[in-house]
Amino acid sequence: MDDLQFGTRNKRGDWAPKEALETAPILIFPPRPLKFLKWLPGYFLPWNVMFMAIAVVYWFWLTPSIETMKTLSIGWIVYLLARNMATVLLFYGALELRLYVLRRQGTSFKFNGKWPSDNRSNVFMFKSQNIDNIIRTFATGLPIWTGYEVLGLWCYANGWGPWTTFAQHPIWLAAFGLVLPIYHEVHFYCIHRLIHVPILYKWVHSVHHNSVNPSPWSSLSMHPVEHLLYWSDSLIHLIVPSHPLLLLYNLQITGTGAVVGHVGFDKIVAGEESAIETHAFAHYLHHKYFEVNYGDGTVPIDRWFGTWHDGTKEGDVLMDARFQRKQAKVNAKPPGK
């Protein structure tokens, strides 16, 4: 598959799609039903269907019994941690192996023409982006993910919270499940803007942004404080009527799903004429420019607040103008304030 049929490559070897990024055709006026119907399959496939499938397997076959989870014990907690670690190792590891180790499709559809492993830096442990990212993922990311999961399942087992069943409230739970990816993005946008506040960025979020050229293992490479904020979206299941299957689905969207924005490629080539869309360009632009695309464009919050970058030269102009206005405000402040 020729990536230049879909985009352009600059002198540095960086690839970008020809078409400008668009936010999803939801929450827009006037409504555009035909465009919405055309967009809808991509909302489900392939990623959200995959994350729901993992959640189903987790709930029916890889989660301890309710009786077991009524009591906090090291055995089932460690089991959940090991299960989550195995999922991330297999999922992230497969993408890293195919795209970055074996380099099966070279730089075809790769946003940044350089390879992280070719550029050692003192900002990373052992000067290696991959080693640093893997350590942070497994040392704090997965334990905190599992901690939220343990909290939710323990509360469910003990009847604490407004838990319900699909038999009792099928329409509500189905609707809640359908909008969980949208809810996740709204939550992500809010905490993402928060950790870009200068003091939090310096001491917390900068850890994640060390990976300017992200790869799969960059996905959950964060400061522990950011991990705590990131997975706090799962607390909604203790507030509104929900089911443990949806809790697990939410955790998959947030955890395993973090790789979608960090894979570093626009498409994963699956054959001469076929490829899997990653929808990663919006978040790649955030890693490149830092102050744009705090969300991924499913909900047009960035467009509402003027921080959307569509990947075009016009987007660069708007970003530069916004930066100049920001600098002017900073420079206009009296000394000492």
204-232, pLDDT tens digit by residue? 999 999 999 999 999 999 999 999 999 99
**Residue 330 scores a pLDDT above 90:** no
Tokens representing 317 are 């102009």
Both tokens of 305, joined, read 């607040």
User: Torsion-angle region of residue 279: left (phi > 0), alpha (psi -120 to 50) or beta?
Assistant: left
> Confidence band (pLDDT; 50, 70, 90) for 272?
confident
Return the number of other C-beta atoms located less than 10 Å from residue 284's C-beta.
24
Query: Residue 292 has which token pair?
Result: 């744009």
Has residue 31 got a pLDDT over 80? Answer: yes
In DSSP terms, 15 is beta-bridged to 9
Residue 60 half-sphere exposure toward CB, CA atoms < 13 A? 6
Helix or strand or coil: residue 2?
coil
What is the reported pLDDT for 335? 64
Q: What is the pLDDT of residue 337?
A: 55
Q: What is the pTM of this model?
A: 0.96
Q: Which helix (H) or strand (E) holds 15?
A: strand 15-17
Average pLDDT for 52-79: 98
Residue 21 DSSP code: P
**pLDDT classification of 271: cutoffs 50, 70, 90:** confident
Predicted pLDDT of residue 331: 83
Position 29 confidence tier, pLDDT thresholds 50, 70, 90: confident
Q: Look at residue 176 and tell me whether its pLDDT is greater than 80.
A: yes
Q: Indicate the burial class of 325 (C-beta count within 10 angstroms; 0-12, 13-18, 19 or more).
A: exposed
Task: Tell me which of 199 and 333 has the higher pLDDT.
Answer: 199
